[in-house]
Amino acid sequence: MANLIDGKEISSQVNQETAREVEELRSRHGLQPGLAVVLVGEDPASQVYVKMKEKRTLELGMHSEKHVLPAETSQGELLSLIEKLNQDPRINGILVQSPAPPHIDEKEVIMKIDPAKDVDCFHPFNVGKMLIGDQDGFFPCTPWGVITLLKRSGIDPAGKHAVIIGRSNIVGKPLMALLMQKSAGANATVTVCHSRTPNIKELCLQGDIVIAAMGKPEFVKGEMIKPGAVVVDVGINRVDDPESPRGYRLIGDVDYEQAAEKASWITPVPGGVGPMTIAMLLRNTLKACRKQNQVE
């Protein structure tokens, strides 16, 4: 049976370190990192995510601002709010919760965020920095959460074959870039699969590390896992469950029971990659505050 990669425990360690460093910034330099989260519309899942981010930001001693705008907010109004936040010295990080309503051009919104405050690492300037291995920018939160989980579980990707399923700009592509870097905690040989890859099972079976990030409940079965492989499940899927008080439960892209029989290490869902995303977002906010104020 596989060992558990405990995202709850590891994210809690990361958060404690962040809280300590936030306190140090306050006592030494009188600074408080600030994060602004912007939500347009009333998507229920987004509302939950935004609330969680706000709660955690405050818990770690940071300044938090939530801007909830009506669904009919125009592109121009949203861009002006971002411009205001770009100029606001209390705000070091800006995040616009996705998905925005269809009339909003998300690409233009991302381009409007000052790259120095782009703590989600969606701006092409920061994506480019990450790709060339520049440690000076930001790393995208979920992929960086995966790298941190591996590192803190004592799993070194160096020389390993990592197989990623999914090539989104948020997870699969940046994870590929981070894992293949010539740097500590990386140095993997990476294969990326997607919906046009015909032989996913064959490729997965070659993976020393298999990372599922596709949004397809329990797609990765035990028969796709090489004995002793490390399995990381990024997927979060809601499935109906009349027995749950909420009427649904969350499952990953991996069939946990089956894969755990084969793997050496595995992340659960929930409690694996999920809690890491906010933890890394707040690391980025802390970094942004230090850089903007030129303190170590």
CB 164 within 8 A of CB 213: yes
Q: Least distance to ligand NAP from the beta carbon of 24, Å?
A: 28
Around Cβ 135, how many Cβ atoms within 10 Å? 9
Examine the residue annotation and report whether 53 is marked as an active-site residue of this protein. yes
Around Cβ 248, how many Cβ atoms within 10 Å? 13
The answer to whether residue 268 forms part of the interface with ligand NAP (CB under 6 A) is no
Choose the catalytic residue: 6, 53, 129, 253.
Answer: 53
Q: Least distance to ligand NAP from the beta carbon of 29, Å?
A: 31
Which structure tokens are listed for 70?
């009506």
* Four-residue CA torsion sign, 272, 275, 277, 282: negative
Q: Which residues from 115-134 bind ligand NAP, rule CB under 6 A?
A: none
Examine the residue annotation and report whether 47 is marked as an active-site residue of this protein. no
The answer to whether residue 166 forms part of the interface with ligand NAP (CB under 6 A) is yes
Stretch that binds ligand NAP, among 89-97, 165-173, 178-186, 281-289 (CB under 6 A): 165-173
* Four-residue CA torsion sign, 53, 54, 56, 60: positive
The contact mask relative to ligand NAP for 200-219 (x = CB under 6 A, - = no) is x------------xxxx---
Q: C-alpha distances in angstroms, 202 versus 140, 166, 263? A: 29, 16, 16
Determine the size of the site formed for ligand NAP (CB under 6 A): 25
The smaller minimum CB distance to ligand NAP, of residues 33 and 235, is found at 235
CB 144 within 8 A of CB 280: yes
Look up tokens 């994060």; give the residue. 35
Which structure tokens are listed for 267?
């992340």
| Angle separating helix axes 141-152 and 274-292, nearest 10 degrees | 110
The answer to whether residue 234 forms part of the interface with ligand NAP (CB under 6 A) is yes
Examine the residue annotation and report whether 151 is marked as an active-site residue of this protein. no
The contact mask relative to ligand NAP for 131-160 (x = CB under 6 A, - = no) is -----------x------------------
Choose the catalytic residue: 6, 97, 118, 255.
Answer: 97
Choose the catalytic residue: 6, 118, 120, 255.
Answer: 120
The answer to whether residue 170 forms part of the interface with ligand NAP (CB under 6 A) is yes
The smaller minimum CB distance to ligand NAP, of residues 84 and 194, is found at 194
CB-nearest residue to ligand NAP: 168
CB 255 within 8 A of CB 221: yes
The smaller minimum CB distance to ligand NAP, of residues 73 and 277, is found at 277
Q: C-alpha distances in angstroms, 272 versus 129, 194, 283? A: 27, 22, 18
The smaller minimum CB distance to ligand NAP, of residues 61 and 217, is found at 217
The smaller minimum CB distance to ligand NAP, of residues 216 and 226, is found at 216
CB 232 within 8 A of CB 216: no
DSSP string over 177-213: HHHHSSSTT---EEEEE-TT-TTHHHHHTT-SEEEE-
The answer to whether residue 277 forms part of the interface with ligand NAP (CB under 6 A) is yes
The smaller minimum CB distance to ligand NAP, of residues 86 and 270, is found at 270
Please, which residues bridge with residue 65 across strands?
36
Contacts to ligand NAP by CB under 6 A: 142, 165-168, 170-172, 193-197, 200, 213-216, 234-237, 273-274, 277
Active centre residues (catalytic): 53, 97, 120
